[in-house]
């Protein structure tokens, strides 16, 4: 495998509040086995290694997760950790990582992925990434995003509207884009899905580093100047001090709002890769194999007694503790040592409200 100036950037700084109580600020979902026998960040790393060598894989996260990253990804060189003092969303995080990789390699092509997603069709994923790299290498002014064909009118995801065909490459078709729409309401989402012209935004981007920085300079001179200042100090003894000082000045903004919604040179490559952002317990429950459910459509992990209960999913952390249900229909129950959450199917997106309430009440640190 040849790296050929390719770098994979795995975003690993999110707290995953919608998967509370399992996912917490101190142990976010990417560092847990939510689906499968490996943690989500380990799965992301295994996918990345099918595209580049391990030393061309970078991790963007928060200072406080360094030890967790080392524990789960011991192969990655320490210098490939790009961590920040405070969460400022994907805009500043991706901009900083791009500037630091560009300092190392002026011809860098960066593939931005995420540590907390599930991708079932790995071969199709690798093909899509390699095709995207080829397109960007041949058309340097473009940023390419991976689009996912929507399977439902999801209101928790961003949508990308396609325009005319850009080109056909390796059997895949890329399109120019008309617009980004961030998390529409249900009526709009239904319209988008039925039109066939919209794709979910997976948050996976491929671009030449120099082009990204050029767009950043155009749309946010302050963030551009800050990340360049940080990157220029990379080899100095004051690097972390300068990083922390400059990063605190950045606005909290998603890369979608920072660049992708504004650039005139955005492409979308629709793919079928068995993708999910595992953004809620409803999504996790939907992933349970039918064969693992009982005759009433219930799935449970732990010691559970179900009486007159249907279509209910239970994730218990403790096999010694009995969970008993009577007369439930379409519920999800999740337990940890410190909390129990019970929510009707279709309402698990609202779990983030519980997290906000805990923070406001200062009940406990999560």
Q: Confirm or reject CATH 3.90.550.10 for domain 6-277, answering yes or no.
A: yes
User: In the prediction, which pLDDT does 349 show?
Assistant: 85
What SS3 state is found at 286?
helix
| Whether pLDDT at 272 is above 90 | yes
Q: Which residues contact 104 (CB under 8 A, 6 or more apart)?
A: none
pLDDT at 277 over 70: yes
Q: Compute CA distances 355 → 16, 154, 293, 346, 364, whole Å.
A: 10, 22, 29, 18, 10
* pLDDT tens column, 33-47: 888 789 999 999 999
| Structure confidence at residue 365 (pLDDT) | 56
User: Minimum mean pLDDT among 168-172, 244-248, 354-358: which range?
Assistant: 354-358
User: Please, which pLDDT band fits residue 180 given cuts at 50, 70 and 90?
Assistant: confident
- For residue range 237-259, list pLDDT tens digits in order: 999 999 999 999 999 999 999 99
Nearest CA-CA partner of 212 in 94, 48, 52, 133: 94
What is the mean predicted confidence (pLDDT) over 89-100?
Answer: 97
Angle, helices 209-219 vs 221-232, to 10°: value is 130
Please report the pLDDT score of residue 30 as a whole number.
94
Question: What gap in Å lies between CA 30 and CA 52, rounded to an integer?
Answer: 21
CA triplet 305, 282, 127: central angle to 5 degrees? 125
Enumerate the domain spans of the chain. 6-277, 282-361
% of the chain with per-residue pLDDT over 90: 82
Nearest one of 146, 162, 90, 174 to 274, comparing CA atoms = 146
Give 31's contacts (C-beta < 8 A, 6+ positions apart). 39, 40, 41, 65, 68, 72
pLDDT class of 2 with cuts at 50, 70, 90: low
pLDDT at 127 over 90: yes
| DSSP assignment string, 162-208 | EEEEEEEETTEEEEEEEEEE-S--HHHHHHHHHHT-EEEEEEEEEEE
Closest by Cα among 147, 179, 148, 174 to 161: 179
Residue 366 has a pLDDT of 59
Q: What is the DSSP letter of 144?
A: E
Q: pLDDT digits over 279-333, tens only?
A: 889 989 988 888 999 999 999 989 999 999 999 999 998 989 999 999 999 999 9
């Amino acid at each position: 495998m040849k790296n050929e100036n390719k770098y994979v950037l795995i975003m690993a700084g999110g707290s995953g509040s919608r998967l509370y109580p399992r996912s917490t600020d101190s142990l976010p979902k990417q560092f847990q086995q939510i689906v499968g026998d490996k943690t989500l960040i380990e799965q992301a790393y295994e996918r990345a290694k099918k595209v580049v060598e391990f030393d061309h894989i970078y991790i963007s996260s928060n200072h406080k997760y360094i030890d967790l990253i080392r524990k789960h990804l011991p192969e990655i060189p320490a210098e490939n950790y790009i961590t920040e003092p405070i969460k400022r969303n994907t805009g500043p995080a991706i901009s900083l990582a791009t500037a630091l990789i560009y300092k190392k390699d002026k011809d860098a092509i960066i593939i931005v992925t995420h540590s907390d997603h599930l991708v079932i069709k790995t071969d199709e994923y690798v093909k899509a990434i390699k095709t995207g790299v080829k397109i960007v290498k041949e058309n340097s002014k473009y940023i390419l995003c991976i689009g996912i064909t929507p399977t439902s009118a999801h209101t928790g995801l961003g949508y990308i509207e396609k325009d005319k065909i850009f080109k056909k490459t390796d059997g895949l078709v890329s399109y120019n884009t008309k617009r980004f729409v961030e998390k529409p309401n249900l009526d709009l989402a239904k319209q988008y899905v039925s039109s066939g012209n919209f794709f979910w935004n997976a948050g996976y981007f491929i671009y030449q580093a120099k082009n990204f920085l050029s767009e950043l300079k155009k749309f946010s001179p302050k963030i551009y100047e800050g990340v360049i200042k940080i990157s220029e100090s990379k080899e100095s003894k004051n690097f972390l001090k300068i990083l922390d000082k400059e990063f605190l000045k950045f606005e909290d903004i998603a890369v979608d709002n920072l660049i992708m919604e504004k650039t005139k040179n955005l492409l979308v490559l629709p793919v079928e890769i068995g993708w999910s952002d595992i953004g809620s317990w409803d999504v996790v429950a939907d992933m349970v194999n039918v064969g693992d459910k009982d005759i009433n459509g219930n799935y449970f992990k732990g010691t559970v007694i179900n009486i007159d209960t249907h279509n209910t999913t239970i994730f218990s952390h403790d096999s010694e503790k009995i969970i008993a249900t009577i007369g439930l229909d379409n519920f999800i129950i999740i337990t940890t040592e410190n909390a129990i959450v019970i929510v009707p199917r279709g309402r698990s997106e609202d779990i983030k409200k519980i997290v906000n309430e805990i923070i406001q009440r200062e009940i406990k640190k999560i």
